[in-house]
Structure 1
Amino acid sequence: MDTSEHLRDEIIAAVLDRASRNGGFVTRDELTSMPLANGSQRVIDRTRGIWNPRDMDATLSVLSSPDGPYADREVAGGLFHYAYQDGPTNGVNAKLRKAYELQKPIILLRKVRDGVFVPIAPVYVVGDLIEKREFLLALDESVRFLAGDPSPLERRYVERVVKQRLHQAEFRGRVIAAYSTRCAVCRLRHGELLDAAHIIADRDEQGLPEVSNGLSLCKIHHAAFDGYLIGISPDYQVRVDRQLLEETDGPMLRYGLQGMHGIRLTLPEQRKDRPDADRLNQRYAEFLRRTS
């Protein structure tokens, strides 16, 4: 492995580690100067969506924004269409084409709010559609070998991978960023220990991957919420199952669960990100039914 390849792998690992510590996302400030073993490295362009470091022969990262000027989109088969940057076919696009030719891994940065991104890596460029001014990106290393015409079994595998690596990752990043990397119940701030819990499960037609259908919860409170050991009322009060309140056990039960009974959730600053009252009401009614 040459020096540039080693550096690329180190940068990808550093970005994913930082995202894990944050709860699934990275900020522009962090990407501007990502700490490495020997110094730091810029991982995002100041103004454009493609970052081409001078000391690398191929693109390092690409940025995709749902509200941006380009028609980036996910397509069937686990591939992602990434639009050329404005201007000539070459120009800033040339090094992304080089990533395709050399099959170098890159980082896809999905914008979830201003200055906040969910990194997906390693991602590979598997097609260059010059006539459409688009690149095709495989969102998983294994998926790039299935590009083209996957079998029904391969297609199901690809759909599962994309759901985990893109949809679930974005939902987690959006929710935990909205809650400023803390558990809404106990206020734990360790991103590695936080999950994005659905209020209404994603298999339900109302279980959309929206921040208002999510709660940032530590792993124990996520499990307790999913298991109906705790419920959350529409006015954001935590309620613990009556039988659980009457149990006697060690300090985890006493402080981690029983002690949460009656507290008020810690909510996102922005009202649009706060839990939807109708969904909470539906979920809380089920909690009461199961614990009555």
Structure 2
Amino acid sequence: MAINLEALQALEITDMRFAYGERETMLYALSVGMGRDPLDLRELPFVYEGDALQAVPTMAVVLASTGIIRKTGVDFTKVLHGEQRLTLHRRLPVAGELLANSRVAAVYDKGAAKGAVLLLETTARSAADNAPLFTFLMTILARGDGGFGGPQGSGPEPHQLPDRAPDQTDMFETRPEAALLYRLNGDRNPLHADPRASRRAGFARPILHGLATYGIACRAVLRDVCDCDAGRIKSFDARFSAPVYPGDRIVTDMWTDGDVVSFRCRVPDRDVIVLNNGRCLVRARS
């Protein structure tokens, strides 16, 4: 079934309500590697409520999953998550209720052989005071839905990394059960849990969620650039470039230029870049 451009442009979800608490905040932090060393006092405030609990900023992308992609009519079996962009309008609360709106911000036709590109935007505000909390933009490649006669294009230009050696690197070894833990944040796709499902999709075994790698990259920036102060992160954007397998060692390379931190994630044991073109905007130390 061809994409109906007019219907996509009109598609909108309004005021969908979500609630989360300290448990979800600590679970997310654990699932992206916080607390691996339980004696590390810098990370303890992300996983322990007795130490002025903080939320990892990238948790925002799992808090307001409105399901708009399933209302677009695209062939969900041929969908790839290309990029994730997040803007935080203020520090993410560790608990609360949200009201979320989602829409199709743009759609591009790359042709019948290459598919369509959809930009799905979600904005969330606090249900308590109606103040904006965050906005995120997902770039989705619908490989089976091109050739519908829509506008050409491919979405926002990726951030270019500096042409020099990284200023900092962080190595993180993911656990074999990492995908089983991360899926408890809400994404229950069997691709990340069932070896039979992953083989049908062309993978030797279940792969880690791309957004888990995204969160692991945020952990590295928080630790190595922001001194574990979650309030310093204003935005966090990245492009997904290759799958990660639970158990992989992920190296995050970081470059700091003023208030912009560029980053990428690679798996050196397989010589592959798994997250690329990363850009984080940070606030100055308070």
TM-score range normalised by the length of the shorter chain: under 0.3
* Bigger Rg, which one: 1
User: Of Structure 1 and Structure 2, which has the larger fraction of its residues in helix?
Assistant: 1
Query: Could you state the TM-score of these two structures normalised by the residue count of structure 1?
Result: 0.25
Higher strand share: 2
TM-score relative to the length of structure 2:
0.26
Tell me: higher relative CO, structure 1 or 2? Use CA pairs within 8 A at least 6 residues apart.
Answer: 2
